[in-house]
Amino acid sequence: MEILARWKNATTQRRSPAEFIPLAERTGLIIPLTRSLMAQVAAQMNPIFSKLPDGFHIGLNISVSHINAPVVYR
């Protein structure tokens, strides 16, 4: 499974990750965005975790900002 960030604005217009990911990186919001995404995935997957097949994995792309951050996840 691959997790992808999506953004819908107030008018429900979708914004491409190509638009908001660079902005999040420039403004220092990429790490909080990633943490939020990881928490949402964990919460949604927790109820079905025991039913997942062996070898099931989740892919998550990270940026250089994540590698340079002292702590990315807990």
Residue 1 lies in a domain: no
Residues 60, 68: Cα–Cα separation, whole Å: 17
Domain count, the chain: 1
Mean pLDDT of the chain: 84
Which is more confident, 16 or 71? 16
Q: What is the per-residue pLDDT for 29?
A: 92
Residue 22 lies in a domain: yes
Tell me the residue range of the domain where 47 lies: 7-68
Which residues have CB under 8 Å from 4's CB, separation 6+? Answer: 17
pTM score: 0.73
Residue 45 lies in a domain: yes
Residue 19 lies in a domain: yes
Task: For the chain, give the percent of residues with pLDDT over 90.
Answer: 18
CA-based radius of gyration for the chain: 14
Residue 73 lies in a domain: no
Which residue matches tokens 């979708």? 14
| pLDDT, tens digit (0-9, with 9 covering 90-100), for 34-62 | 889 889 988 998 899 889 999 888 888 88
